[in-house]
Chains A and B, each alone.
Chain A
Amino acid sequence: MAKINAGVATSHVPAIGAAIDNGITDNEYWKPLFEGYDYAKEWIKKQKPDVVLLVYNDHATAFDSNLVPTFAIATGEEFKPADEGWGPRPVPNVKGYPEFASHIAQSVIQDDFDLTVVNTLDVDHGLTVPLSLMFGQPENWPCKVIPIAVNVVLYPTPSGQRCYNLGKSLRKAVESFDEDLNVQIWGTGGMSHQLQGPRAGLINKEFDNAFLDDIVDDAENLALKPHLEYINLAGSEGIELIMWLVMRGALNDEVELKKRHYHVPASNTAVGHLVLENK
């Protein structure tokens, strides 16, 4: 059967993608950030996942104000990197897994999570930056990817608890698929950041580090954190962190922390990264 063996969390700041695409990851500004991903790059070469369930959010790219799905799963064959206003990132197309994604949709919807099913989906930096951070610049991405989009742009977003429970439902769905597959789940976005208003630039290291502790060892309680606390203490865009809870919910209650990295700043944002394996 298919099985989720590990989880990865990472921020997905567009400037990180631009640094990779422009070949400036070694400069003084970016080096400390990218060094924190050296472990994960080696680790994933050995893990060789067949499929990644990639939990991310669209940033007014594929979903505009006409259509805002709270949760969506992409069942298409292939997803193109989106033109976000400065041309598409020079990265490979993302290969989907229609049979597996449709199976997951069927299972999760019957488990009371009413996912929107998407076929044509141009994927923005929210999805492609994590792939670049983990796999570098290959000619083709080395595994299939099932995009799972969470609305964190239009308030109210789903609650942390709802995201955590969705993770649990995704796990059940994966484990009921007959094919033997090594599956990972990635939660992306965050950490503290605010891109707007007079308070733009807010970074909360204390909040972020407590979140990094709790998502490993106290996720049940972390899932109870109300929206207001994210917005107030981690910035209006810090709410993206709820997507990490989807990842965490899909893993075992007990996980082994293989890597933790935290760096400020990437542009306006605090960057966090975890590698977790099921115990």
Chain B
Amino acid sequence: MAINKPYKEVPGTIIFDADMARLGFHLNQFCMSLMKAPNRKKFKAGEKVYLDEWPMSEAQKEAVIARDYNRMMSLGGNIYFLAKIFSSDGISFQAAASTMTGMTQDEYAQMMLSGGRAPDSSNTLKKGS
């Protein structure tokens, strides 16, 4: 019998579970490699060439090059691993998060200053409360 995964229904959210981790293993390990300065330099010098050294899917590589974080997560990336990419780009966590929401960085920063995104019936499950 399959394992029940009610968390998959939480709106606007991808939970990094064991299945996603398996899917994203090489993508996430590529991200870890960016914690070393020489690797960051190599990656910056030729992103596609560097990515081709990893047994990642083409879709994962394209998502990295496009810095499409929602897509990277749907392909098994986890945000704490993906953070190594935007840290290498010199981008803050808040700026990176804003790119996933369809808001501009300023709009997102303003939302956080005003107390963040409030939970409501459009962004939470009724049965999970």
A178-203 near B? 1/0 per residue, CB < 8 Å: 00000000000000101111111111
Q: Is A196's CB under 8 angstroms from B28's CB? A: no
Say whether A268 faces chain B, with CB atoms less than 8 Å apart. Answer: yes
Q: Is A198's CB under 8 angstroms from B128's CB? A: no
Main secondary structure of the interface of A (DSSP, over half): loop
A84-B87 contact in complex given A153-B16, A202-B123, A231-B13, C-beta closer than 8 Å: yes
Say whether B56 faces chain A, with CB atoms less than 8 Å apart. Answer: no
The interface residues of chain A lying within 8 Å CB-to-CB of B83 are 59-60, 84-85
Which residue of B16, B112, B115, B124 has the most chain A CB atoms within 10 A of its CB atom? B112
**Complex: chain B residue closest to A193, CB-CB:** B116
Q: Is B13's CB under 8 angstroms from A236's CB? A: yes
Q: Is B13's CB under 8 angstroms from A194's CB? A: yes
When the two chains form the complex, which single residue of A202, A227, A228, A268 contacts B119, counting CB atoms closer than 8 Å? A202
Q: Is A60's CB under 8 angstroms from B28's CB? A: yes
Inter-chain CA distance A85–B29, complex, in Å, is 14
Inter-chain CA distance A59–B24, complex, in Å, is 16
Q: Is A202's CB under 8 angstroms from B93's CB? A: no
25 contacts between A and B (CB under 8 A): A15-B93, A60-B31, A65-B24, A84-B83, A85-B35, A85-B87, A154-B18, A155-B15, A155-B16, A155-B18, A195-B93, A196-B73, A196-B97, A200-B98, A200-B108, A203-B115, A203-B116, A227-B7, A228-B128, A231-B128, A232-B7, A236-B13, A236-B15, A267-B93, A268-B93
Say whether A247 faces chain B, with CB atoms less than 8 Å apart. Answer: no
Within the complex, what minimum Cβ distance (angstroms) separates A91 from chain B?
Answer: 18
The interface residues of chain B lying within 8 Å CB-to-CB of A199 are 10-13, 101, 117, 123
Say whether B102 faces chain A, with CB atoms less than 8 Å apart. Answer: yes
Say whether B45 faces chain A, with CB atoms less than 8 Å apart. Answer: no
Q: Is A196's CB under 8 angstroms from B84's CB? A: no
The interface residues of chain A lying within 8 Å CB-to-CB of B123 are 199, 202
Q: Is B115's CB under 8 angstroms from A65's CB? A: no
Q: Is A201's CB under 8 angstroms from B97's CB? A: yes
